Chains A and B, each alone.
Chain A
């Protein structure tokens, strides 16, 4: 069941941050149903002190994603363009480059 995943380095991704995991899971449901490729990820600490769970999405779809979340009244903290610039601890453990 456990997929060993980590955000790729030097790649721009879209991240939605939330006030609580209730909203994160709701966002995942809503966006998956609308056909978006999304995944719940541990919130990168630089952008998400609030809730531990954030949502990764394809940044090119930002307008649609934001519109869908607003349409379904899903509460979120912010939408970020996020680029990880150096190897994380998890990358080191998983041997990612």
Chain B
């Protein structure tokens, strides 16, 4: 089987991930920050080590400003639901994932003003258009760094600058970019950074994180026990405790420690270099096949390793089925939880076939995928 659904979750994982999870389960155990005993303190050290590793990766000064979540959807909901009130105005792009659009639309129905800035057909957002949309009551700009449908990478440094100069909060959805291309909270003026552990960071599912600019005092969202201030029935006000109630997925976080170690050893620029090479190989291999339509930029430097296509004469779900059952190639078809992006690129409501490669994908695998697309396109044309 050839796994081409890294846009959904990365696979395989580096061996260090399971090594660290095994070590944690067998040798450490415990819940971090809940007891003064040896195992709990050791678990806390593991968790803190991951906060530090993430802080280093994203140029975050204070690792305590990072709270662990179960996934980036949770991170985004923490930010969106605590920061935006009826009467506020928020600006987003037309390429967003439903983890941003659904909470925003829900708040819109309750009085939030929402501007969706239209991106071009290749998915690019013009920072000038964002700037032009800012008004008196604009509270936040929220965009994704890279599209989960076609991989288009936004100029988030420019968008962050626009936000900063206007005194508006900037939230970055780094689901598809973390672990692949630079994410720098200082350079990009990011106030809230949302990341997931199980995609580009190559960690386990059930892990995610949210960074909060220390200048911002956030309200609680999910309340409960934090292992601190236990004499009070009020939620602590300080990060990470304010946004970290209940037992964290420490086994997952231990695994993430291993994955981040792998990323550090290989070097994220090398990860990127390889994924660009594989993606360009794929695009070049299929762009001249009659009947194949590739969405988004054809230059692999302008996107991540996800590529969406359609084949004339076939519905995308059928193509996906043939790829899976006929060729052993696993892709994701349909709307990829991003109706907005598909509307932007012109594939709504039919959807696309999405291929997502990783650092671990081989050149041979890419060539086999190209060959399969060719065969399917020919069959569909008959």
Tell me, yes or no, whether A binds B: yes
Number of A-B residue pairs with CB-CB distance less than 8 Å in the complex they form: 61
Question: Which residues on A sit within 8 Å (CB–CB) of B27?
Answer: 1
Residue of A nearest to B32 (CB): A21
Decide: A21 and B44 in contact? CB cutoff 8 A: yes
Given A42-B36, A75-B64, A75-B238, A25 contacting B48 (CB threshold 8 A) = yes
Q: Judge whether A50 is part of the interface by a CB distance below 8 angstroms.
A: yes
Residues from chain B with Cβ under 8 Å of A49 in the complex: 231
Q: Which of B52, B228, B238 makes the CB contact (< 8 A) with A21?
A: B228
**Residues 40 to 75 of chain A near chain B (Cβ within 8 Å):** 40, 42-43, 49-53, 73, 75
- Are A20 and B226 in contact, CB atoms less than 8 angstroms apart? yes
Nearest residue (CB) in B for A20 is B228
Residues of B within 8 A of A2 (CB): 38
Closest to B41 in A: A40
How many chain B residues touch A (CB < 8 A): the figure is 26
Give the distance in Å from the alpha carbon of A29 to the alpha carbon of B48 in the complex.
9
Contact with B238, one of A19, A42, A51 (Cβ below 8 angstroms): A19
B41 touches A20 (CB 8 A): no
Q: Is B102 an interface residue (CB 8 A)?
A: no
B3-47 CB mask vs A (1 if < 8 Å, else 0) is 000000000000000000000000100001101101011001101
Interface string of B203-234 (1 = CB under 8 A from A): 00000000000000000000000111101000
Which of B38, B47, B227 makes the CB contact (< 8 A) with A1?
Answer: B38
Given contacts A26-B48, A26-B63, A43-B36, A21 and B231 within 8 Å (CB-CB) = no
Contacts of A29 in B (CB 8 A): 45, 48, 52
- Are A26 and B64 CB-contacts (below 8 A) given A19-B229, A20-B227, A49-B231? yes
- Contacts A49-B231, A51-B228, A73-B62: A20 and B236 contacting too (C-beta < 8 A)? yes
Is B74 engaged at the interface, CB distance under 8 Å to the other chain? no
How far is B227's CA from A43's CA once the two chains are assembled, in angstroms? 14
A83 at the interface (CB under 8 A from B): no
B-contact 0/1 string along A1-45, CB 8 Å cutoff: 110000000000000000111111110110000000000101100
Cα distance, A81 to B179, chains bound together (Å): 45
Interface residues in A, total, Cβ within 8 A: 22
Q: Is B241 an interface residue (CB 8 A)?
A: yes
Chain A residues in 8 Å Cβ range of B63: 26
For B47, the chain A residues whose CB sits under 8 A away are: 22
Q: Contact between A52 and B35 (Cβ–Cβ < 8 Å)?
A: yes
Kindly state the separation between the CA atoms of A42 and B36 in the bound complex, as whole angstroms.
6
Chain A residue numbers with a CB within 8 Å of B52 are 29
* A21 touching B229, Cβ below 8 Å: no
**Chain B residue at smallest Cβ distance from A3:** B38
> Chain B contacts of A73 at CB under 8 A?
61-62
**B64 close to A23 (CB less than 8 A):** yes
| Interchain residue pairs with CB less than 8 A apart (28) | A19-B228, A19-B236, A20-B33, A20-B226, A21-B36, A21-B41, A21-B44, A21-B227, A22-B44, A22-B47, A22-B48, A22-B64, A22-B228, A24-B44, A25-B41, A25-B48, A28-B45, A29-B45, A29-B48, A29-B52, A40-B41, A43-B36, A50-B231, A52-B35, A53-B36, A53-B41, A73-B62, A75-B238
* Closest 9 pairs between A and B when the two form their complex, measured CB to CB: A20-B228, A52-B36, A21-B33, A42-B36, A25-B48, A25-B44, A53-B36, A21-B44, A25-B45
Q: Which residues of A come within 8 Å of B, CB atoms?
A: 1-2, 19-26, 28-29, 40, 42-43, 49-53, 73, 75
Other 15 A-B pairs with CB < 8 A, given A22-B241, A26-B64: A19-B229, A20-B33, A20-B228, A20-B229, A21-B33, A21-B228, A22-B47, A22-B228, A24-B41, A25-B41, A25-B44, A26-B48, A49-B231, A53-B41, A73-B62
